[in-house]
Structure 1
């Protein structure tokens, strides 16, 4: 409390504003929940990365034809499509806390069972189930994180999720590099190794409180007050109540349909060219002697690291210049990077590398906004559902980039393939100019209110 004196009047006390979720300072609790929520993207990057390394040993041992290689490689992506679409809505119904560790137990169990797999169908089924659990974790963890985040730090806290994805991918290649020395059966331990970070997250996430926003939306006022007192102190103020029930259909209705198209399309248009640019990866790596054998795992880790570096300045810019300018200018420079390697026939290596670096650094903007926009543009009652829809759309993009790209390279060549990737990026720019909103500095209630 502070005392204010005025001439001719007795002193009176001015009451300090009560602590709310939105105006709370960054605390150890916020740092912990940001780290724990990043576990899902970390596992996504790790699981998608490690299977590519394990495939080099699985293929001859299990006699995998090209069809089964493709199915196993994309099994987690298919599972994530289902997991995001279904369990985002389930999370809005039953709460964030219940699902926060349940999905991780599924990943732990499926990871361990891969040690005992004897054929391709068994591995495929196990990895589809793992993908469902990872796809479910995106709306679960990021919704919980957004609903605890102060508005000054919300963009950075959510943006760190993509950093965790690239860290997971980088670690996967390093682990694969180390485990290859175990011999022909090392692929089993590679696939099972995802159980280690998943189990660690189960322990770390234990005891995380339920979102007070979700509790208020479901009229559980006493529980919400207890959580606010625990996290923000006894003088904290409850979030506003939401009287309307959960409705998945609202994601595609009224003012939210445009937002759903925006978050789904910009994420999809970002993912497809990212995988297309990977076509130049072997050419870049070969110049450093990292394109074949176990050394290729180190090269892939290095490429992941470049994309990770691009996310770091974006984490700062999202809170300084804002969301809308960041995504627009990022797509501009991503287009430039792709154009450098697609417009000129047979570009020299230095030009390929320059275009790759420009694209990788610029892609940090949409990367960090992948989880910021879907969580900010929707109210509590449909937030996880919206994140699930956006996650499913992104997996479509990943599927196209993973499976259509090889056919495109064989049919029309790398230059025309990259030209198509450039056009797709321009679509992402167009969608962003047309529909991107500015949510910096707004409370979640303000940001989620339809324009």
Structure 2
């Protein structure tokens, strides 16, 4: 017997009647995938622009309306309260009426509400409108990541979702530019900044009519002919004709997630991963929004004028881009769990240094490090979330985790003034550092899904 022959891999065979999911998983990244990523990413960037703008609006109103930190916290938290409800309801709706439909609806809701916010004549009206904005924002993000996850080829799915999340950096940079050059331009600058939020309402029409619906969702609803048409359109984009579509070799099929369940997200097979995911979402939301919503205002408190504060925030925001790039590469090299854990740990170290920084260059350097690691962690988190659940509860699972995290983002704006009253900015960022470490510990409990096919 030849030893080398016994250790050689078994020859691949053609799989009879491969599923549509298997046919999607074996595809290369095509122009069709690129168009879907671009369409979803633009919506994601507009979402980030809206979330980022409110931090600049609060800082501007603290000057022009003499807005108190308490009122600023209410404005920010109202949006996060809406996001908590929106994420939960949006996930449920995505599992019932479709990912594409909910994605378009959320863009319409928050776009119209943001535009209306520009006309607010008082704090009360702004708080109410920010709540409505949050309903749309909260629902969009988990639904968009779910839709992209269900189309991306298994071997690069994590990387593709991090690319999607990277559009957040573009939106936040756009918010920083608008904040620096428009919101800070005068007493009415913040109104013109919010008026730009009408763009998502217009873009929702593009989403509704230009994007395909999830194949896995269509199959669950018995709409097999539509599902087949969508799969064939992606295969055609890859140069695979109808005769070759079913010629899949066994070595082209990704290993499926072994989880089996007929229950909900808290059923026995899913409860550990749900608990771990919720813990990460809660801690990262508390630290991220606590820091980045207040950084422009905290810089003003340190003695920097409004324009300089916004300029510093813009520089710090630019560091998000290499953070996403690093996470997109590492997530398919080291896996989701290690990437998420390392970036959260890096966020904890950076937060500690930011709290200790006193000079301009130290503040910018520590802020850039915090931005780099924190946004890289967000990319990995959005990649792993949809992979933890089977198709029928994927939207529900990702939406529920996001909704739980939004509870922390509601509390974060109120937490910062309390911590400042107890101590100083060093205390604030020490608390955020501890939260990042807790999130890293929870992340390490999640199952590794690199290269696996999504559970049906």
- Measured in 2, the distance between the counterparts of 1:56 and 1:337 equals 23
Q: CA deviation at 1:229?
A: 2.0
Q: Which residue of 1 aligns with 2:335?
A: 322
The aligned residue for residue 449 of structure 2 is 439
Note closer, same or farther for the CA distance 1:300–1:202 as it changes in structure 2 (3 Å cut): farther
Whether 1:402 and 2:413 are equivalent positions in the alignment is yes
* Pairwise CA distance, 1:263: 1.4
Q: Is the 1:40–1:134 Cα contact (8 Å) retained in structure 2? A: no
Segment of structure 1 superposing worse, 273-282 or 46-55: 273-282
- Out of 70, 74, 81, the residue aligned to residue 84 of structure 2 is 81
User: How far apart, in 1, do the equivalents of 2:210 and 2:174 lie?
Assistant: 27
Find the counterpart in structure 2 of residue 304 from structure 1. 317
SS of residue in 2 equivalent to 1:370: helix
Contact 2:277–2:443 (CA<8 Å) still a contact in 1?
no
C-alpha separation in 1, matches of 2:452 and 2:366:
36
Please list, as runs of the form range in 1=range in 2, the aligned pairs for 1:215-230 lying within 5 A after superposition: 215-230=218-233
Q: Deviations over 1:393-420 (max 9, x none)?
A: 2222323332202211221333343333
The corresponding residue for 1:5 is none
1:391 is matched with: 402
* 2-structure distance, mates of 1:422, 1:293: 27
Contact residue 117 and residue 194 of structure 2 kept, 8 A: yes
Aligned to 2:429: 418
For the pair 1:335 / 2:338, whether they are aligned, the reply is no
C-alpha spacing 1:154/1:226, structure 2 compared with 1 (3 Å): same
Q: Match for residue 10 of structure 2?
A: none
Q: CA deviation at 1:279?
A: 9.9
Structure 2 residue 283 is the aligned partner of structure 1 residue 269: yes
Cα deviation digits, residues 299-339 of structure 1 (max 9, x gap): 21111112332221111110112112212322333333345
CA deviation map 1:18-74 (0-9, x unaligned): 771101111111111112222343233211222232335545766755543322222
Q: Summarize the alignment of residues 245-264 of structure 1 with structure 2, pairs less than 5 Å apart.
A: 250-264=264-278
Following the alignment from structure 1 to structure 2, what is the Cα–Cα distance between the partners of residues 121 and 50? 18
CA distance change for structure 1 residues 156 and 57 in 2, over 3 Å: closer, same or farther? Answer: same
SS in 1 for 2:130: helix
Taking the TM superposition and a 5 Å limit, the aligned residue runs for 1:35-434 are 35-58=38-61, 66-180=69-183, 183-203=186-206, 206-233=209-236, 234-235=242-243, 236=245, 250-275=264-289, 291-340=304-353, 355-433=366-444
Identify the range of structure 1 (42-51 vs 257-266) with the bigger mean alpha-carbon deviation.
42-51
2: CA distance between counterparts of 1:276 and 1:70?
A: 10
Secondary structure of 2:306 counterpart: coil
Alignment partners' CA distance in 1, 2:147 and 2:314: 30
| RMSD, aligned CA | 3.4
Question: Which stretch shifts more, 42-51 or 142-151?
Answer: 42-51
Distance in 2, Cα, partners of 1:113 & 1:440 = 43
Q: Which runs of 5+ in 1 are unaligned?
A: 1-13, 240-245
Tell me, in whole angstroms, the C-alpha distance in 2 between the residues paired with 1:88 and 1:220: 20
Instruction: Specify whether residues 186 and 339 from structure 1 end up closer, same or farther in structure 2 by C-alpha distance, changes over 3 A only.
Output: closer
Provide the C-alpha distance between the structure 1 equivalents of 2:336 and 2:384, rounded to a whole number of angstroms.
Answer: 8
- Return closer, same or farther for 1:316/1:109 CA change in 2, 3 Å cut-off: same
Distance 1:305 1:285, change over 3 A: farther
Gaps of 5+ in 2: 1-12, 237-241, 254-260
SS in 2 for 1:228: helix
CA distance in 1, matches of 2:26, 2:138: 31
Q: Is the 8 A contact 2:158 2:384 kept in 1?
A: no
After TM superposition, the structure 1 stretch with the greater mean CA deviation from structure 2, 272-281 or 136-145, is 272-281
Q: Secondary structure at the match of 2:210?
A: coil
